[in-house]
Structure 1
Amino acid sequence: MNMSSGNGQPVIRRLSEQVVNRIAAGEVIERPAAALKELVENAIDSGARRIQIRLDRGGMDRIEVTDDGCGMSPGDLRLAVERHCTSKLRDETLVRISTLGFRGEALPSIGAAARLTVMSRLRDSDSAWAIRVEGGVVGEVEPCAGSPGTRVLVEDMFFATPARRKFLKSPRVESSHAENVVRRLALSAPHVAFRLEFDQRLILDLPVQDMAARVAAILESGHADGLLPVEGQRGDLKLSGFICAPSVHRATANGQMLMVNGRPVVDPVLRTAVRVAYRNVMEHGRHAVVALSLEIPPEQVDVNVHPAKTELRYADSAAVRALVIGSLGRALGTGAGVAGVRPDLLQSRGPSPARIWYPPERSADATGLSTRLAAPIGASGAADPGLPTGFAESTLPLSALPAARKVVPEGPEQPAADMTPAIDHPLGAAVAQVLGTYIVSQTADGALVLVDQHAAHERLTHEILRQQYLGGEIRAQRLLLPEVVDLPARQVAVLLSFSVALGRLGIEIEPFGGTAVLVRTMPALLGKEDPVGMLRDLAEELEADDLASPAQADALDARMDAIIARMACHGSVRAGRKLTHEEMNALLRDMERTPRSGTCSHGRPTWLKLEKADLERMFGRR
């Protein structure tokens, strides 16, 4: 109710402490998961080695967090429920913050919106003490029974602020948010055991673990062998963690666990860097699954941006992005077979973009020529030391890979690599070809590997073209008879605007009337590929991207990789072509040597692995 003086002018008055606390609670505690986050952070900061969490109806009815941390004395307990009282700040500069919490607002905010009971006992004390807060009204500290550590009970969330309670979602949705919070915090503290129950159902039971095992458990990747380690440093910045292969992805970014100085964050700078790093190896619209930890000097980051403490400001955000993109690029630059990809890890994708179908090839190219690949070249034009050195010596026999041709003279012909089937290779030795499309191989440990021959060779061709494009070495092959490609006028205009860039790829075009272009050359690497079908696909590819512009360097770089991907698709071994054992093993070996070969140019997996446990589960033996 507005208050005014006798002449109708509003009068400023001081709000009561209870109203102030309820207003502040709206910033800190927006839903039960937010309250749970604050309570678990307090438990971790207390030095707990085990944290037990129980929720009823997504936390709307009850949240209980029990830890075996240092506990609190009666005096500390009384201060803990007052606003802006904390034991976690050593000074008032707000620069070197080493704890998860530091604002002193969590317990007062929860007590202002719900019924809060805190019971705590010091490790060397004979008894425990309790204090109760209901709707901002603080009770007296009283003795009670309890084990060393702290137990916090929150009941009837938002009973004192019914307007906020009406905006809560269903218990299932609120439980999902709460579980996500616990997973992120558990990842930040692998030295702490976590147990999480929803409505008396066990959701998580994590023992004390090393980081690799904790990441595997949190990301639900089965075991640490399916993860790619990440290490990187740039000045005072250090990045570490684990990531899943590009073929493992999700519809949302909930699978991205990001930490800065041990603090779980939802940071747009880091998420953008992850998206850029995966851009050319993952299906469009999908999100990578990663667990990354950034160590940064405290004075170079501000964590006091938002009461939830999940948003940050960096003194040099460009350096952070460069570190993440570079480190993930090196980790993703491994050949196939390094990180196992099991069918149960692949998420449902929904309808996939239509792929071009090609009729089976009638005969193999038996010219016997081969191509020696140059060292991989990164976006800067320099060789990337983080990529496998074996890739520089890969030899692709044309009997197995007909799209490969020697397009750049490199001195004496290199001897063919030893392609003797060896079961101890990461992708094993070829056993058979199924449906004229899939290669079945067996590894030394008895696992079965399935390879999509077209998807795999598409990536190999992509990487050759990409290297040559970045090195300015793509050789064009003039057509005996120039091809005329009829297209809608708008697509003709788009193609002609990229004519210079396409020329660098070995595709020379020129206008041929208002609705056609004339194709004079094609990349020699692609051999006798039909230029008409390729130009039509490239025109649709460029037209579909509203941001595609030959005048924008970043957009051009992304577009050229997409164009190269389309060219690689046209120039690859077709599904339906029968391969010999020698050809199949040659393809497997080159997959192991080629960076990013775990997915094709469209981001789909090129290989899957079925281990003994997977087979036993499928046949009901476990």
Structure 2
Amino acid sequence: MIDSSPSSFPAIRRLPDPLISQIAAGEVVERPASVLKELLENALDAGSASLQIQLEEGGVKLIRVTDDGAGIAKDELALALTRHATSKIASLNDLEHVSTFGFRGEALASIASVARLTLISCRAGAPHAWRLAADADLPEPAALAQGTLVEMRDLYYNTPARRKFLKSEATELAHCLEAIKRVAMAYPEVAIMASHNGRTSLRLPKSDMQARIGAILGDAFTAESRLVTADAGVLKLTGYCALPAHSRARSDAQYCYVNGRFVRDKLLMHALREAYRDMLHGSRYPAYCIFLDIDPAAVDVNVHPAKSEVRFRDARAVHQFVFHAVQKVLSSPLHALSNPVSPRFSDHSAPIQATTQPAEATASPDSVAPTARPASYTAARQASLRINEPAVSAYTSFAQAAFSRPAASPAHGEVSRPIYAETGTAEEEKNAPPLGYALGQLHGIYILAQNAHGLVLIDMHAAHERILYERLKAAVDSRRIAAQTLLIPAVFSADALDIAAAGEHADTLSALGFEITPAGPTQLAVRAVPALLQASDPAALVRAVLADLREHGVTQLTLARRNELLSTMACHGAVRAHRLLTIPEMNALLRQMEATERADQCNHGRPTWTQLSLGELDRLFLRGR
């Protein structure tokens, strides 16, 4: 039996300072990478232009960070190792306008409580540096150029129980290198060199944003991504978002920064995921590196001990701003882009740029104008490019009819297919549309076209599927899906569940352009289909739609479910493989692609076209050697 008498409970008392520091270290120091992150951020706050990092045994035995920043004065070295001592804030107002990485003054004290810590620092103009160990009383003279050297040895030497939770040397090193990359991505103007056990592991010279991202994420990322720049006054967004074709099986290439600070923010990640929704397979992860600049007073960075999470004053405005900025760039029709050839397909093209309209996000009325950013923020991140997209041209009546005719049989040669197209003069070729002009078909699956950059290959089914999908969505949004009554109803066998679903969801089917009635105990008759899909097999189309309705139900027909249903309809209505097209029909498809949003990918995230540049073709045939 538990004794609940007052005398059985211990008295309240103050914890000793060493124990307080070790408790605080538990929140800040999770592993060697946590220590390295804090030291790098302190160095950047000091205005460093170059960082030298030395690691041993994955950072467990040694982490040494040397910078060329402002340095620490002799009489402030001991104070720097004291809890809650900082030069970054002095009042509540400073705390509400934090524009630096560190501001709590806990990092060095927490690290010193679980490792052997030494500081060496030299201020500008000082005759020499000063050295102070965490367990020493007074600093002593030392040799060091302007800046600061922070050395941490033997992590968790005094708390062996916590050391047991560390992973292998290779794993801890990988976490340390990732911490360096996260910081380096936001500060391309800072040169960084890291070594492990005496061997260079990472060397990043000073560069611009694009070059630094390419050095860390690989040139394939920057080549297969689009530049995002958006400016709404109190909000600015810059960065690169990879095209859906460059999606990954893991979320290891997702970098979000708020005022230069790497964060794992659910709001931003959700906004970015939603921007990719219509272009990405559900099991794949998008890759991106984006930088959001916001007035420090409109974001709270003091909600997590490691400062890896933030809270926005107007979360909805931030979400909508990021969502629309990224979605607009990813979904821009080809004819609306400044450089119509996607950079992933050409070795001549530069990243594509676009911005959102400021009205896409509205800040709260009490938001203040953004304060001046620190000098370390690059000009590229602050720049924004405004492109006015021309209105999407109307589809031609010929293009409407081109994909509604019956398929021709290749055995009877009913379709005239010129092998080459008339491309005109050099000037006309230079001013050709983004996807150029069709030359012919390959195995009835791919369209070959010529543009100013070289050869374009198009998957005609994937491309037509995206075109139909976007037109179906537009028709549903405007509640104007035209129905085409069939001259002869299409009757097919159906099970009891399909017949019941057709009756239960009759209103939903009617709104989508279908008219379905029972034709017997085990049969359904399709009397009308959406006009956009009149060339498809009515029975197969209705079976697929009924299967979706049975699985999700009309009550769950949310935007995502609705789009899945329309995607199914578009897939079944798109032109099929081995369908022979004439040159005018191929060109009609190319023009529709150029006027369609998200035409780079089909509804399932597959690319719809690719480009072989003249340079690549020359290399294939060894021309110029």
Query: TM-score normalised by the shorter chain: which range applies?
Result: 0.7 to 0.9
| Residues 33-63 of structure 1, C-alpha deviations (whole Å, 9 max, x = no match) | 2211111111111101112333334323332
Q: Which residue of 1 aligns with 2:155?
A: 157
Offset at residue 335 of structure 1 (A): 2.7
Q: Which residue of 2 aligns with 1:117?
A: 118
Task: Measure, in 1, the Cα distance between the counterparts of 2:197 and 2:435.
Answer: 45
| Residues 68-106 of structure 1, C-alpha deviations (whole Å, 9 max, x = no match) | 111112222221121111111142342010101111111
Change over 3 Å in CA distance of 1:518–1:316 after alignment to 2: farther
What 5-or-longer segments of structure 2 have no aligned partner? 335-339, 348-359, 361-385, 407-420
Q: Which residue of 2 aligns with 1:444?
A: 452
Offset at residue 26 of structure 1 (A): 0.7
Q: Which residue of 1 aligns with 2:603?
A: 601
Residues 33 and 59 of structure 1 are in contact (CA less than 8 Å); yes or no, is this contact kept in structure 2? yes
2:282 to 261, 281, 284: 284
Moved more, 55-64 or 437-446: 437-446
SS of corresponding position for 1:467: helix
Change over 3 Å in CA distance of 1:56–1:451 after alignment to 2: farther
Change over 3 Å in CA distance of 1:82–1:582 after alignment to 2: same
| Residues 431-479 of structure 1, C-alpha deviations (whole Å, 9 max, x = no match) | 5543432334455345x54322211111112122222222222211123
Task: Measure, in 2, the Cα distance between the counterparts of 1:188 and 1:538.
Answer: 47
2:180 to 170, 177, 182: 182
Offset at residue 308 of structure 1 (A): 0.9
Residues 541 and 573 of structure 2 are in contact (CA less than 8 Å); yes or no, is this contact kept in structure 1? no
Paired residues for 1:161-172 under 5 Å: 161-172=159-170
| Residues 575-614 of structure 1, C-alpha deviations (whole Å, 9 max, x = no match) | 2234455544443343233210010011111123455787
Task: Measure, in 1, the Cα distance between the counterparts of 2:43 and 2:195.
Answer: 17
The one-letter amino acid of 2:554's match is P
| Residues 339-359 of structure 1, C-alpha deviations (whole Å, 9 max, x = no match) | 323599xxxxxxxxxxxxxxx
> Is 1:506–2:513 an aligned residue pair?
yes
The one-letter amino acid of 1:193's match is A
The one-letter amino acid of 1:307's match is P
Change over 3 Å in CA distance of 1:177–1:596 after alignment to 2: same
Change over 3 Å in CA distance of 1:304–1:473 after alignment to 2: same
Q: Which residue of 2 aligns with 1:256?
A: 254
2:483 to 476, 485, 491: 476
Q: Which residue of 2 aligns with 1:60?
A: 60
Task: Measure, in 2, the Cα distance between the counterparts of 1:145 and 1:129.
Answer: 8
The one-letter amino acid of 1:500's match is D
> Is 1:533–2:531 an aligned residue pair?
no
Residues 395 and 590 of structure 1 are in contact (CA less than 8 Å); yes or no, is this contact kept in structure 2? no
What 5-or-longer segments of structure 1 have no aligned partner? 345-378, 380-384, 406-417
Change over 3 Å in CA distance of 1:449–1:173 after alignment to 2: farther
Task: Measure, in 1, the Cα distance between the counterparts of 2:46 and 2:405.
Answer: 61
Change over 3 Å in CA distance of 1:115–1:612 after alignment to 2: farther
Task: Measure, in 1, the Cα distance between the counterparts of 2:65 and 2:200.
Answer: 15
The one-letter amino acid of 2:394's match is E
Task: Measure, in 1, the Cα distance between the counterparts of 2:274 and 2:422.
Answer: 36
Task: Measure, in 2, the Cα distance between the counterparts of 1:167 and 1:494.
Answer: 55
The one-letter amino acid of 2:457's match is L
Residues 399 and 585 of structure 2 are in contact (CA less than 8 Å); yes or no, is this contact kept in structure 1? no
Task: Measure, in 2, the Cα distance between the counterparts of 1:461 and 1:122.
Answer: 66
Task: Measure, in 2, the Cα distance between the counterparts of 1:185 and 1:404.
Answer: 57
Q: Which residue of 1 aligns with 2:464?
A: 457
Moved more, 238-247 or 394-403: 394-403
Task: Measure, in 1, the Cα distance between the counterparts of 2:503 and 2:289.
Answer: 43
Q: Which residue of 1 aligns with 2:526?
A: 519
Task: Measure, in 1, the Cα distance between the counterparts of 2:502 and 2:60.
Answer: 57
Residues 403 and 535 of structure 2 are in contact (CA less than 8 Å); yes or no, is this contact kept in structure 1? no
Q: Which residue of 2 aligns with 1:374?
A: none
SS of corresponding position for 1:319: helix
SS of corresponding position for 2:117: strand
Offset at residue 170 of structure 1 (A): 2.9
- Scaled by the length of structure 2, the TM-score of the pair is 0.79
| Residues 262-293 of structure 1, C-alpha deviations (whole Å, 9 max, x = no match) | 22211001111111111111111222222222
Task: Measure, in 1, the Cα distance between the counterparts of 2:48 and 2:605.
Answer: 42
Task: Measure, in 1, the Cα distance between the counterparts of 2:599 and 2:229.
Answer: 21
Residues 233 and 323 of structure 1 are in contact (CA less than 8 Å); yes or no, is this contact kept in structure 2? no
SS of corresponding position for 2:131: strand
The one-letter amino acid of 1:167's match is F
2:554 to 534, 550, 553: 550
SS of corresponding position for 1:47: coil
Change over 3 Å in CA distance of 1:292–1:512 after alignment to 2: farther
Change over 3 Å in CA distance of 1:218–1:515 after alignment to 2: farther
Moved more, 50-59 or 460-469: 50-59
Offset at residue 396 of structure 1 (A): 7.3
SS of corresponding position for 2:322: helix
1:307 to 305, 313, 316: 305
Q: Which residue of 2 aligns with 1:240?
A: 238
Higher share of residues assigned helix: 2
Identity of aligned residues (%): 42
| Residues 3-32 of structure 1, C-alpha deviations (whole Å, 9 max, x = no match) | xx9965424443322222111101011122
Paired residues for 1:15-164 under 5 Å: 15-93=15-93, 94-133=95-134, 137=135, 140-164=138-162
Residues 483 and 513 of structure 2 are in contact (CA less than 8 Å); yes or no, is this contact kept in structure 1? yes
The one-letter amino acid of 1:607's match is W
The one-letter amino acid of 1:283's match is H
Task: Measure, in 1, the Cα distance between the counterparts of 2:143 and 2:598.
Answer: 59
The one-letter amino acid of 1:255's match is A
Change over 3 Å in CA distance of 1:496–1:329 after alignment to 2: farther
Task: Measure, in 2, the Cα distance between the counterparts of 1:305 and 1:474.
Answer: 49
Task: Measure, in 1, the Cα distance between the counterparts of 2:345 and 2:392.
Answer: 25
Offset at residue 506 of structure 1 (A): 0.9
Offset at residue 155 of structure 1 (A): 2.5
Paired residues for 1:377-416 under 5 Å: 388-389=389-390, 391-395=392-396, 397-398=398-399, 401-403=402-404
Task: Measure, in 2, the Cα distance between the counterparts of 1:400 and 1:340.
Answer: 33
Q: Which residue of 1 aligns with 2:372?
A: none
Change over 3 Å in CA distance of 1:617–1:66 after alignment to 2: farther
The one-letter amino acid of 2:571's match is C
Q: Which residue of 1 aligns with 2:14?
A: 14
Change over 3 Å in CA distance of 1:463–1:388 after alignment to 2: farther
Q: Which residue of 2 aligns with 1:587?
A: 589
Residues 439 and 452 of structure 1 are in contact (CA less than 8 Å); yes or no, is this contact kept in structure 2? yes
2:474 to 458, 467, 475: 467
Residues 478 and 520 of structure 1 are in contact (CA less than 8 Å); yes or no, is this contact kept in structure 2? yes
- Scaled by the length of structure 1, the TM-score of the pair is 0.80
Q: Which residue of 1 aligns with 2:365?
A: none
Offset at residue 505 of structure 1 (A): 1.9
Offset at residue 199 of structure 1 (A): 4.6
Offset at residue 127 of structure 1 (A): 1.6
> Is 1:297–2:295 an aligned residue pair?
yes
SS of corresponding position for 1:307: coil
Q: When the two structures are aligned, how many residues end up with a matched partner? A: 558
Q: Which residue of 2 aligns with 1:426?
A: 434
Change over 3 Å in CA distance of 1:404–1:497 after alignment to 2: farther
Q: Which residue of 2 aligns with 1:194?
A: 192
The one-letter amino acid of 1:50's match is S
Q: Which residue of 2 aligns with 1:563?
A: 565
Residues 333 and 386 of structure 1 are in contact (CA less than 8 Å); yes or no, is this contact kept in structure 2? no
Q: Which residue of 2 aligns with 1:413?
A: none
SS of corresponding position for 2:279: coil
The one-letter amino acid of 2:37's match is K
Moved more, 170-179 or 59-68: 170-179
Change over 3 Å in CA distance of 1:171–1:455 after alignment to 2: farther
Change over 3 Å in CA distance of 1:138–1:286 after alignment to 2: farther
Change over 3 Å in CA distance of 1:310–1:98 after alignment to 2: same
